[in-house]
Amino acid sequence: MVTAFAPASVGNITVGFDVLGMAIANPGDEVTVQFNDRKEVRIVEITGDGGKLPLAAEKNTATVAIISLLQHLGSEQGMDVTIHKKMPFGSGLGSSSASAVAGAYAANELLGAPFTKNELITFALDGEAIASGGRHADNVAPCMLGGITLIRGYNPLDIITLPVPDNLHCSVIYPEIEILTKAAREILPKEVPMKDAISQIGNIAGFVSALYQNDLALLSRCMSDTLAEPYRATLLPDFEKVRNAALYGGALSFGISGSGPSMFAFSDSAAKAGQVGELMKKALDRQGVGNMVFVSKVNEKGVVII
Amino acid sequence: MVTAFAPASVGNITVGFDVLGMAIANPGDEVTVQFNDRKEVRIVEITGDGGKLPLAAEKNTATVAIISLLQHLGSEQGMDVTIHKKMPFGSGLGSSSASAVAGAYAANELLGAPFTKNELITFALDGEAIASGGRHADNVAPCMLGGITLIRGYNPLDIITLPVPDNLHCSVIYPEIEILTKAAREILPKEVPMKDAISQIGNIAGFVSALYQNDLALLSRCMSDTLAEPYRATLLPDFEKVRNAALYGGALSFGISGSGPSMFAFSDSAAKAGQVGELMKKALDRQGVGNMVFVSKVNEKGVVII
C-alpha cells in the first residue's frame, strides 16, 4: 500500500497565462493505492469531497491517470484507490491536477517506479483532461515536479523548471465562492491588443530574469497581467478589496490563482507573507465571505510518498 | 576631439517583438565631436551616406541626442559633429540608433563623462525618435550597453541586460532592398489571437531561461515568432530561401532583424556561423539581390571610444 501527497498549485503566476505554474506547501490531496486481483482500477473511497465526486474510475482524475499509466505498460494489474480530498475543488488551486498527480505517482511507486516524474506527467495530463477538457499542464507540472515551472510548448511537451528566489513567500486565499472554469475561460477574448501582448512578453521575460537573479524588486515590477486578469477579475466581486489589503501589507504582487476564485500574493519574507495573509483574510471576513488562507514558500519538492 | 563607435543591433531577436535587442560586432557608425565657440551644435560633415542624410542638426539622430544631453545639463556649449555612416541605413540594423548612441556617448566623453551609459540612453532615445517617430529602445539599449537587452517597460524605462551564452554566434545578412519601417509597422495587426500571445510568452520565457542556463538547444526550440514575423516576412521576397539556406547550414534559428529587410541566424560555433553566412549569401546571390553579410559573436561592449 502506497500513499502519495500532491500539493496545490498556482497556475499562471500573473505573468504567464497558461504557461507558468508553481507548487505551494499546502493544502494538497492524498491518494492511496494497493493491488487488487480484479484486473481493474476502482475507487474504494473518496473522503473530504462532501460526497460530490463520482466513484466511477473513468470519471476521476486520479484513476484515469492510473489507468493511462497501466495501459502504457500494457499491464492488466488491478488497483484499489482511496482518494483523500484535502483541498477545496473548483478553487483555482489545481485540485483536479493534485489528485491526478498523486494517483499516477502512487501507482508508479507501487509498481516499482518504472517511470520518472517527467515521464509520469503525460499520464497525469490524461487525468487532468477529464476535469478540464484539455491536457493543461500549468498545474500538473508544478504539482509533479515542484517549484516554478514553465510549459514552453505542448508539441512536444517542453517543461522547464525555473529557479526559486530564496526569500520568495506566497500567501494564498480561497474565497468560498464558485467560479466555473468554463466561465473563466469564456470571459477571455479570442484576440488581444498587440500592445497588451508586447507588454506581457516584456513582463514574463523580466520575471524569468528576476528568478535567475534572485531579484525580488524586479520580480515585483514585472507582476502585471494584461491577458487574463482584466477580464477574470470581473468575476471576483472582492478582487479589488483583497488586492488592496495585500499591497497595503507590503506584498510584492497580487493576482488570481489559475482561473480563480483563489488569489495569491508574493512577499519577500515569511513574516510579511503571514501578515499579508491575515490582511487578505480580514478583507474577505469583512464582506462576510468564508475563506481559507495558506501561507508558505514555493514547494520545491512537488509530489511525495508519505 | 573624441570619436565613438556604436555597433549595429538586431531588434526583436525573433521571440521579443519590441522588447529584445542585441548588439553585434560590426558594422557600426562613428561620430566625432569637438568643442566650438559658436554656442551651437552643428554637423560639419556626414560621410558614407551617399549624400542622403540632411545636414541640419535638428534632423539627425546624433546631433539631436547631443542637443538633448546639453539641454539636460543646461549647457550652451557648442560642438562640431562629424558623422561617419559605416553601415547601411533602412537596413533593420539600428543605423539611426547607432548614430544617436555614438553622438551622445562621444559628447558625454568630451564633457568629462557627467553621465553613465544607462543615463545616456534617454538622450539617445530623443535622437532615435527623430528617425522612427518614437522613443523605441530595442536598438538604442543594446547599442549603448552591449549584449542582449530586455526593455521590460517604458514607464519608467526598465532595461535588463541578459547573459550571453558562450558559444552563441550570429550571422546577419542585409539584402539591398528597401523596406520602409512605416510599412513594416503598418502591416502588423492591431490585435493578435490569444493563442499566439500565449505561444509567444512561453517562447520568450524559455529563451530567457536558455540564456541563463547556457542551453542552446532550448534557445533553438524557443526561437519562433507569432507576433510580427508571419506578417513582415511577406515584405521580404526571399525570406523563405534565405531561411532554408540558414537552417540547412545548421543554424539554431533564423528570423528578421528588427523591421527588416536584414535577417539573422544564430549558430553554436564560429565555424557554423561563417558557413551559415556564406549559404545565406549564396541564396541571395542566386536571386541577383545585392547583399552584405556580417558574422560575429554578440557584442558585449556596446558603444566605445576609439
Residues 6+ apart with CB under 8 A from B103: B4, B31, B33, B61, B62, B63, B65, B66, B81, B83, B124, B127
**Chain B residue with minimum CA distance to A159:** B206
* Percent of chain B at pLDDT exceeding 70: 100
Say whether both B70 and B197 belong to one domain.
no
User: What would the pLDDT profile of B75-91 be if each residue is shown by its tens digit?
Assistant: 999 999 999 999 988 89
B20 touches chain A (CB under 8 A): yes
Confidence of residue A73 (pLDDT cuts 50, 70, 90): very high
Contacts 24+ apart (CB under 8 A), A280-288: A280/A171, A280/A173, A280/A242, A280/A245, A280/A246, A280/A249, A281/A173, A282/A245, A283/A238, A283/A241, A283/A242, A283/A244, A283/A245, A284/A173, A284/A175, A284/A238, A284/A241, A284/A242, A286/A241, A287/A237, A287/A238, A287/A241
Q: Looking at the complex, does the CB of residue A158 fall below 8 Å from at least one CB of chain B?
A: yes
Q: Are A25 and A130 within one domain? A: yes
Of A17, A160, A189, the CB nearest to B206: A160
Query: In this complex, is the C-beta atom of B217 within 8 Å of any C-beta atom belonging to chain A?
Result: no
- Determine contact, residues A263/A172, Cβ cutoff 8 Å: yes
Contact criterion met (CB < 8 Å) for A197 and B222 = no
- Picking from A25, A12, A85, the residue whose alpha carbon sits closest to that of residue A302 is A25
* pLDDT score, position B290: 97
Using the predicted structure, report yes or no on whether residue B134 has a pLDDT greater than 90.
Answer: no
* Average model confidence (pLDDT) across chain A: 96
Q: Does B161 touch chain A (CB under 8 A)?
A: no
Alpha helices in A24-139 (DSSP H): 61-73, 95-110, 117-132
Chain A residues lying within 8 Å of B141, measured CB to CB: none
pLDDT at A183: 82
A194 occurs within a structural domain: yes
Domain boundary, last residue among A105, A138, A162: A162
Domain boundary among B128, B162, B196: B162
Residue ranges in A111-232 assigned as alpha helix (H) = 117-132, 140-145, 181-186, 194-213, 216-222, 229-232
> Best interface-test mutation with B: which of A208, A221, A229 has the largest number of B CBs within 10 A?
A208
The answer on pLDDT for A112 being more than 80 is: yes
pLDDT, average across residues A238-244: 97
Residue B192 CA, distance from chain mean position? 25
User: Domain range spanning residue A204?
Assistant: 169-297
Provide the CB-side half-sphere exposure for B14 (13 A, CA). Answer: 23
Q: What is the distance between the alpha carbons of residues A136 and A149, in angstroms, rounded to a whole number?
A: 13
Which residue in the list B181, B226, B278, B300 is annotated as catalytic? B181
Asked whether residue B303 is assigned to any structural domain, the reply reads no
Output the pLDDT for position A184. 83
Least confident of A46-50, A120-124, B177-181, B276-280: B177-181
- Asked whether the predicted pLDDT for residue B202 surpasses 80, the reply is yes
Q: pLDDT per residue over A194-208, tens digit each? A: 999 999 999 999 999
| Upper half-sphere CA count for residue A148 (Cβ side, 13 Å) | 25
Q: For chain A, say whether B31 makes contact (Cβ under 8 Å).
A: no
Average pLDDT over residues B239-259: 97
- Ranking A126-135, A236-245, B103-112, B249-258 by mean pLDDT, the lowest is A126-135
With a CB cutoff of 8 Å and minimum separation 6, the contacts of B289 are B175, B176, B177, B238
B104 shares its domain with B66? yes
Helices A194-213, B194-213: crossing angle, 10 deg rounding: 20
Q: pLDDT tens digit string along B27-36?
A: 999 999 999 9
Number of structural domains chain A divides into = 2
Task: Count H helices and E strands in chain A, helices first.
Answer: 10, 12
Residues of A in Cβ contact (< 8 Å) with B164: none
- Residue where a domain terminates, one of A95, A127, A162: A162
- The answer to the question of residue A257 being in a domain is yes
Q: The domain spanning residue B31 has which CATH number?
A: 3.30.230.10
DSSP B26-60: EEEEEEEEEEESSSSEEEEEEESSTT-S---GGGS
Q: B192: distance to nearest CA of chain A, Å?
A: 5
Residues A133, A39 within the same domain: yes
pLDDT at B178: 86
- Among the partner-chain residues B151, B200, B218, the one whose CB lies closest to the CB of A197 is B200
Mean pLDDT of chain B: 96
Contact yes or no for A205 and B202 at CB 8 A:
no
- Is B13 an 8 Å CB contact of chain A? no
Q: Are residues A193 and A251 in the same domain?
A: yes
Q: Is B201 on the interface with A (CB under 8 A)?
A: yes
Cα of B46 to nearest chain A Cα, Å: 36
Are B204 and A209 in contact (CB < 8 Å)? no
Cα angle A8-B201-B168, degrees, rounded to a multiple of 5: 115
Same domain, A175 and A117: no
Asked if A207 is an interface residue toward chain B (Cβ–Cβ < 8 A), one would say yes
Same domain, yes or no: A9 and A116: yes
Domain assignment present for B240: yes
User: What is the least distance, in Å, from the CA of B225 to any CA of chain A?
Assistant: 12
8 Å CB contact between A45 and A63: no
Nine-digit cell at A102? 498523486
Residue of B17, B260, B257 whose CA lies nearest to B151? B17
Give the pLDDT band (50/70/90) at residue B135: confident
The residues of A that are catalytic are: 128, 181
- ipTM for the whole complex: 0.96
If you measure CA to CA, which chain B residue comes closest to A18? Answer: B198
| Statement to judge: residues B152 and B193 lie in one domain | no
Return d(Cα B68, Cα B33) in angstroms, integer.
15
Segment A265-290 shows an average pLDDT of 98
**Average pLDDT value for residue range B129-154:** 93
Does any domain span residue B90? yes
Whether B32 sits among the annotated catalytic residues: the reply is no
Residue B39 and residue B124 in one domain? yes
Mutate to test the interface with B, among A13, A186, A201 (most CBs of B within 10 A): A201
Whether residue B142 sits in one domain with residue B28: yes
Q: In this predicted structure, what is the pLDDT of residue B47?
A: 95
Distance in Å from the first CA to the final CA of chain A: 11
Which residue from B minimizes the CA distance to A201? B201
CA angle, residues B63, B64, B65, in degrees to nearest 5: 90
For the segment B80-103, the average pLDDT, to the nearest whole number, is: 95
Chain B contact for A287 (CB, 8 A cutoff): no
Interface check for A143 against chain B (CB to CB < 8 A): the answer is no
Whether residue A202 and residue B17 make contact (CB cut-off 8 A), yes or no, is no
pLDDT at A208: 98
Secondary-structure percent of chain B, ordered helix, strand, coil, rounded to 5: 40, 25, 35
Instruction: Say which of A162, A201, A209 has its CB closest to residue B201.
Output: A201
* Model pLDDT, residue B89: 82
Q: Does A153 touch chain B (CB under 8 A)?
A: yes
Residues A281 and A253 in one domain: yes
Largest distance between two CA atoms of chain B: 59
pLDDT for residue A180 is more than 80 = no
Residues A147 and A180 in one domain: no
For residue B95, pLDDT over 90 is answered with yes
Mean of pLDDT values over B217-244: 96
Q: Is residue B281 part of a domain?
A: yes
Would the CB atoms of B150 and A202 count as touching at under 8 Å? yes
pLDDT at A135: 84
Q: Is the pLDDT of residue B181 over 90?
A: no
In this predicted structure, the answer to whether residue B182 has a pLDDT above a threshold of 80 is no
| Whole-structure pTM value | 0.96
The band of A13, judged by pLDDT with boundaries at 50, 70 and 90, is: very high
The mean pLDDT value for B54-70 works out to: 96
Minimal Cβ distance to B17: which of A20, A198, A209? A198
Q: Does A152 touch chain B (CB under 8 A)?
A: yes
- What pLDDT does residue B154 have? 87
Mean pLDDT, range B123-133, rounded to an integer: 92
Which chain B residues are within 8 Å of A205, Cβ to Cβ? Answer: 16, 19-20, 150, 152, 160, 204-205, 207-208
Residue A181 maps to a domain: yes
The answer to whether residue B93 scores a pLDDT higher than 90 is yes
Kindly indicate the confidence band of residue A285, based on its pLDDT and cuts at 50, 70 and 90: very high
The reported pLDDT for the residue numbered A154 is 87
In a domain, A54, yes or no: yes
CATH number of the domain residue B190 falls in: 3.30.70.890
Q: Which of residues 37-76 of A touch B (CB under 8 A)?
A: none
Asked if B204 and A199 come within 8 Å (Cβ–Cβ), the reply is no
Q: How confident is the model at residue A134 (pLDDT cuts 50, 70, 90)?
A: confident
